[in-house]
Amino acid sequence: MRRIGLAVVLALTLAPLAIEGQQAAKVYRIGFLGLSSATEYAPNLESFRQGLRSLGYEEGRNFQIDYRWAQGRVEGLPGLAAELVRLNPDVLVTHAGGVAAAQRATTTIPIVMGVTADPIRQGLVNSLAKPGGNTTGVSSQLVDLSAKRLEVLKEIIPKLRQVAVLLYRDISMAREILRDTEAAAHQMGGVRVRSFGMVSEPTEMDAVFSAILRDRPDGLIVLPDSRFVPHNARVVQFSAKNRLPTVYGSRDFVEVGGLVSYASDFKEGWRIAARYVDKILKGAKPADLPVEQPTKFELVINLKTAKALGLTIPQSLLTRADEIVQ
């Protein structure tokens, strides 16, 4: 009887420990839907994973990520979103056009937006404070920066009259950013904006660049899009060869010799997105988590490129710059 009693005591003592061990062993499943490719989006993706690691998550031990990449094809996002939903992840993480695609694929699985432009204007959330539904995350405020990029270009070229804008036209928010740029140009008076659609096939890019040159712009604005990444150097070389002052929508252009970039900190935004995933995995509802807006915007200036272009960057810009590349 004593042996039976001891066995019962041990069983009752070890049972909670066994349950705790089973709980600790849970592996959360994250579905990640990307517009471009793993290579092109690597810096932002690594920031997201670093954010998870800083919160105590270890890939392969307590979480795994199932990736689907659209390889730059917006039309492929709905099918890929449906694939991820069929895997029944604990949370879906996506950005750009992937958010709308994920929302069409599920109304129950939580969706975290990683750095997505103006989710209210896109109709992705009800409000920043109370997003509602199954979606929350980080807003990049890309649209809000439209006028600022034009103002930066105007400071560099006081006699600015003609502006070319290079963008991928298949993203709705890029068209919104273009409209805001045109509105800002109208407010300046005498500034004309013309847009040019970017292509992904290298053999077709020369035709786009030739069209820009035929318009004889005073300056160029390149809108942010992860699909530019494999072509960054080529766009920068085009601007340099034709002595065309250019303001870019992400700092990676300046890192390969571009003149100026003005953008929110995308990497920081993805680290914030990791915090949303953590909260949701711990039981929070997306509808109750306010959308976070970035508080840091980076103005990066490459003085070496300015010198090569024969430009003098105004002191007003230099004093506002977050980073100056000598």
Kindly state the average pLDDT of the residues 120-143: 91
CATH topology (fold) of 24-140+266-294 = Rossmann fold (3.40.50)
Confidence of residue 312 (pLDDT cuts 50, 70, 90): very high
216: left (phi over 0), alpha (psi -120 to 50) or beta: left
Question: Mind listing the pLDDT tens digit for each residue in 171-181?
Answer: 878 888 899 99
The per-residue pLDDT for range 151-203, each reduced to its tens digit, is: 999 999 999 999 999 999 988 788 888 999 999 999 998 899 999 999 988 89
For a pLDDT cut of 90, what percent of the chain falls above it?
Answer: 77
Q: Is the pLDDT of residue 18 over 70?
A: no
DSSP conformation letters of 202-261: HHHHHHHHHHHHHT--SEEEE---GGGGGGHHHHHHHHHHTT--EEESSTHHHHTT-SEE
What is the reported pLDDT for 15? 52
pLDDT digits (tens, 9 = 90+) for 70-93: 999 999 999 999 999 999 999 999
Domain boundaries, the chain: 24-140+266-294, 143-265+298-325
> In DSSP terms, which residues pair with 193 in a beta bridge?
163
* Domains 24-140+266-294 and 143-265+298-325 in one fold: yes
Does 51 score more than 80 pLDDT?
A: yes
12 confidence band (pLDDT: 50, 70, 90): low
Q: Within 13 Å and on the Cβ side, how many CA atoms surround 181?
A: 30
Q: Is the pLDDT of residue 8 over 50?
A: no
Provide CATH code, domain 143-265+298-325: 3.40.50.2300
Measured CA angle at 70 (ends 64, 71), to 5 deg: 110
pLDDT band at 16 (very low <50, low <70, confident <90, very high): low
**Average pLDDT value for the chain:** 91
Residue 181's nearest CA partner among 160, 206, 200 is 160
**pTM of the full predicted structure?**
0.85
Distance separating alpha carbons of residues 96 and 270, to the nearest angstrom = 13
Other C-beta atoms within 10 Å of 235: how many? 22
SS3 159: coil
